[in-house]
Structure 1
Amino acid sequence: MLVGSVKAMIMSAFLTAAGSADTPKRDSPRVVVVSAGHLDVEIAQRQQSVAAEAAVVIPAGVGHRFWNSSAEPATFLDVEVTAPSAFDRLAPEA
């Protein structure tokens, strides 16, 4: 149960085949949910592939980037959350 207010910015995004998006470090954690295709993601210099219907948590202040190495477009939701410290439990340990 969350008590208090939580603010979030939700953006629907689309990357064409072989497209990329370099992103700056952010002050808030992010959750990226892939809805179609797949994204290649680098978080703190660790790469992984995120398939459709999967999500990845990007901790606040950590360098990251996305790209689409496939021949198919990828769509995803990019959610930036200013949340209580309980949200930090979702972030992978470094």
Structure 2
Amino acid sequence: MNNRAENRHVVDALSDCRAQIKALRETEAKLRAEILADAENRSGDEFDAQVVEITVERIDVELMKAELGLMFLRPFLKQQIQTRVQIKPKPTKKTRAK
């Protein structure tokens, strides 16, 4: 995020960015619901919306463990390391006093 005009720390800027993403996802969900609810209103000035249904298959690992047993599944399971950046607000004087 090169446009940090307020000279915010990178951690604070990341928190701001995540808040904006959350707001955009909420807006997207509302707009999507409107499009799905009104089949007659799917053509805008610049874009057309098309609603398409697809079938997706997923494996329920917990059910497979229960049905087949972990000994059977263990050779097929792989672990991955994921790196996450968790942002937590710093305690304020008010929250420290509690």
TM-score by length of 1: 0.18
Please tell me whether Structure 1 or Structure 2 has the larger radius of gyration of its CA atoms. Answer: 2
Which has the higher relative contact order, 1 or 2, with Cα contacts under 8 A spaced 6 or more apart? 1
Give the strand-richer structure, 1 or 2.
1
* More helix, by proportion: 2
Give the alignment's TM-score, normalised by structure 2.
0.17
